Structure 1
Amino acid sequence: MRLDDPVVITCSISGSLADRNQCPAIPYTPAEYAAEARRIVDAGGVHIHIHARKPDGTPSYEVEDFQAISDAIRAEVGDAAIMNFSTGAMGVSFEKRVEYLRAVRPEVAALNMGSMNYAKYSARRKQFVFSAVFANPFDEIIGFLDVMNELGIKPEHECFDVGHVGSLAPLIDMGVLKTPLHVDFVMGVTGGIPPTARNLAAMADNLPEGDHHWGVIGISRIQWTMVAAALSLGGSIRVGLEDNFYLPDGTVARSNGDLIEKAHQMVIDAGRRPATVQEARAALHLPEVPLASAAAR
């Protein structure tokens, strides 16, 4: 990627862990997802990453919930945003996660590129407040790639450490991973790579040879520092309530739209240009019109 490439602004709309006790703006119902999608698009976002929930806010991996959320967003914003489904989970079977990909067929699906310790640490308490092993073995990664290749879904490779980036090359050599790639570097999870500009540059430098699209996902308030770093290095960016509730001045965002609006301004202030949805589809090597929309016409 180059500094003159347009910046794809992605929004992680809700996540699956946080709830309204932590941030009142997190959407639960399909109608609330659609309202947030409208705010995202109006503020300049062109790519929406989705974890499904039931209307009471419970995380869901059911086809009907992904379908209802997808339908509501499409009814609200049409083809103005790329739809991206999460496939990451702890304790949810591979088969369950494949089921909603087959049924709903998003344009993009996130694919975690390796196993890791995944934790949250409290410096005040001097202890981990959450700690687990996030298992993403190669056999599951290959299984997801086989399904995505079959369905025409573009994988978004989420890399939490440099070793995850290194895992891309053998999959390309095997022929199960098609280039050019769409890769996001996740910075700031305890157990993954520390969130510094130098580490972000190292992640990008370790990509396999080729003209790949990459971006950054900064977790918690370090998000804004990582956005600035990615913009200076030629990458794209993701913000959103899954990753961070706060604007740079420390105020809590009223919606995903607030976060996207700030990210959009940072792109311009950095001398870069926000991508249109058509440019985002070209950067990710997607059809100009989503398959589901094309079939309906």
Structure 2
Amino acid sequence: MLQACLNGARNRAECAHLPVTPGELAAAAREAVAAGAQDVHLHPKGRDGRDTLDPASVAEALTAVRAAVPRTAVGVTTGAWAAPEPGSRAALIRSWTVLPDHASVNWHEDGADEVARALLDRGVGVEAGIYSGTSAAERFLAWPDSHRVLRVLAEITDTDPQAAVRSAAGLLDTLRPAATPPVLLHGEGEAAWAVLRLAAARGLDMRIGLEDVLRLPDGTPSGSNAELVGAAREIIRQARGES
């Protein structure tokens, strides 16, 4: 499975064509799915352009994107930067009026289990975000409900490609006891493409988009999420030996 991560916690200062508004997210999702993405992850933004878990903003973004890609699963973030206190994040999730198909929960953040329970109670799939270089894997594996997550996001924080591949291999070994849920492996910045190639070679789920990387594999700036997805599909075809 290839997921398109449309915007992340970035802003327009980092990327002038970053999709921010519900309409922009809908257009970006439509183009990314047409290019070969099979799932969508996005960060709803408030009027100030920052990530938010506010029910109205989440509803507007999800409604617009679902109208654009009605047969594609759509997920959102629950990152602590959007609402630092775990109880507040869980309360916001319980107040959502439109529910995503799934939501990511970062296991290195305080209160990850509380946030995940709020999602599970509402029937929302949990993507367990496990950052390399943190205690997230151990904390997640110790959680009694780890088997209930939709998938594990193995998130490699090293931006040096060679170091990232080594970190990815180590993190995948650590996560082996949690191998029942699918694993989505991804990197960021200069390492994003090297990690995607590793994920493709191992037959893992993967993701690409402006959240993770702003440049194509040849180093040229990417003009859109769809362009990144197209490049990822070519790497996947090569890994599978397809012509």
**Normalised by the size of structure 1, how large is the TM-score?**
0.73
1:270 aligns with 2:239: yes
**Is the Cα–Cα contact under 8 Å of residues 90 and 114 in structure 2 kept in the other structure?**
no
Instruction: Please point out which of 208, 216, 220 is paired with 1:239.
Output: 208
Q: Tell me how far apart the structure 1 counterparts of residues 132 and 11 of structure 2 sit (CA, whole Å).
A: 27
Provide structure 2 residue ranges, at least 5 long, that are not aligned to the other structure: none
Please identify, of 45-54 and 194-203, the stretch whose mean Cα deviation from structure 2 is larger.
Answer: 194-203
Instruction: Please point out which of 170, 178, 183 is paired with 1:214.
Output: 183
What is the one-letter code of the residue matched to 2:174? Answer: N
How many aligned positions are there? Answer: 235
Q: Tell me by how many angstroms 1:56 deviates.
A: 5.4
**Is the Cα–Cα contact under 8 Å of residues 5 and 212 in structure 2 kept in the other structure?**
yes
Partner of 2:172: 204
Instruction: Please point out which of 126, 130, 138 is paired with 1:159.
Output: 130
What is the one-letter code of the residue matched to 2:173? Answer: D
Partner of 2:105: 111
The alpha-carbon distance between structure 1 residues 43 and 65, as it changes in their structure 2 partners (threshold 3 A), is same
Provide structure 1 residue ranges, at least 5 long, that are not aligned to the other structure: 1-7, 115-135, 274-297
Partner of 2:8: 15
Q: SS state of the match for residue 206, structure 2? A: strand
Q: Please, what is the CA RMSD of the aligned residues?
A: 2.2
Partner of 2:76: 85
Equivalent residue runs for 1:121-270 within 5 Å: 136-137=109-110, 140-161=111-132, 163-172=135-144, 176-179=145-148, 182-189=151-158, 195-207=163-175, 208=177, 210-270=179-239
Q: Tell me how far apart the structure 1 counterparts of residues 69 and 78 of structure 2 sit (CA, whole Å).
A: 23
The alpha-carbon distance between structure 1 residues 272 and 151, as it changes in their structure 2 partners (threshold 3 A), is farther
Partner of 1:276: none
Q: SS state of the match for residue 116, structure 2? A: helix
Q: Which protein, 1 or 2, shows the higher relative CO under an 8 Å CA cutoff with sep ≥ 6?
A: 1
The alpha-carbon distance between structure 1 residues 271 and 30, as it changes in their structure 2 partners (threshold 3 A), is same
**Is the Cα–Cα contact under 8 Å of residues 74 and 101 in structure 2 kept in the other structure?**
yes
